[in-house]
Amino acid sequence: MANVNIRVDDAVKKQAEFIFSELGLSLSSATSIFYRQVVRTGGIPFELKLEPSRKKPLDLSKMTEEEVDAALQIGLDDFEAGRVYSSAQVRDEMERYFRK
């Protein structure tokens, strides 16, 4: 096993760790999954682009009610379009992947 040291913004790390925790993952296992997907796909395993509404993490304390409503609508649209997965779906997919 190799050790990897990276520098990440504290707030981004905390947000990612929260999401990983909700998925039942550690930061280390999530990073390992990312590396495996890079190898499996032969590149970054997702499209890299900025969508106008997602250029930076949301800070609700600095948003107007209208901006919060718009952000919630984006999430609802993603859900209705099937662009989100439950933690159970992600866990099941990971189990299938790692059983190979």
What pLDDT, in 10s, does the model give residues 55-75? 567 788 888 888 888 888 888
What is the domain range of residue 5?
1-47
Q: Is residue 56 domain-shared with residue 94, that is, in the same domain?
A: yes
Distances (CA, A) of 43 to 2, 5, 37, 54, 99: 20, 20, 8, 23, 22
Q: Is residue 55 domain-shared with residue 98, that is, in the same domain?
A: yes
Q: Is residue 31 domain-shared with residue 74, that is, in the same domain?
A: no
As given in the structure block, the two tokens for residue 56 are: 């930076």
Whole-angstrom distance, CA of residue 40 vs CA of residue 33: 10
Q: Please determine, for residue 49, whether its predicted confidence score (pLDDT) is greater than 80.
A: no
Residue at a domain's end among 24, 47, 70: 47
For residue 38, the SS3 value is helix
pTM of the complete model beyond 0.85: no
Residue 11 pLDDT grade (very low, low, confident, very high; cuts 50, 70, 90): confident
